[in-house]
Amino acid sequence: MTKQLTFIGHSDDIFSVSIDGKPVEEIDCFDKLARYKVSSGENQLYVIGEYVTPCVWMIGVAPVNEGIPIPSWNIQLINGHNYSPALTIECPNDVKIEEC
């Protein structure tokens, strides 16, 4: 089984995470990066969101350290709304998400 994580920005200061379409967390990140570590066993990556000029959200992924590959999970950028893409990740059920 897998879960679908969705990361998306709202307004100019809220970044949210949903699991299988259900909101699980929102953070206030006005004027700072939103960063989550997503991990399952040895597999891990960062999801990073930032509200940038001209008033849009930029969302992406990064390895957690040099030499640690990004997991081969299905990761997609899709249309979210007018000012934010949505990043979706199909990942194992035992996934952990932590703000960092």
Over its length of 100 residues, how does the chain's per-residue pLDDT go in tens digits? 899 999 999 999 999 999 999 999 999 999 999 999 999 999 999 999 999 988 999 999 999 999 999 999 999 999 998 999 999 999 999 999 999 9
What pLDDT sits at residue 26? 95
Secondary structure string (H, E, C) spanning 13-70: CEEEEEECCEEEEEEECCCCCEEEEEEECCEEEEEEEEEECCCEEEEEEECCCCCCCC
Q: What is the pTM of this model?
A: 0.95
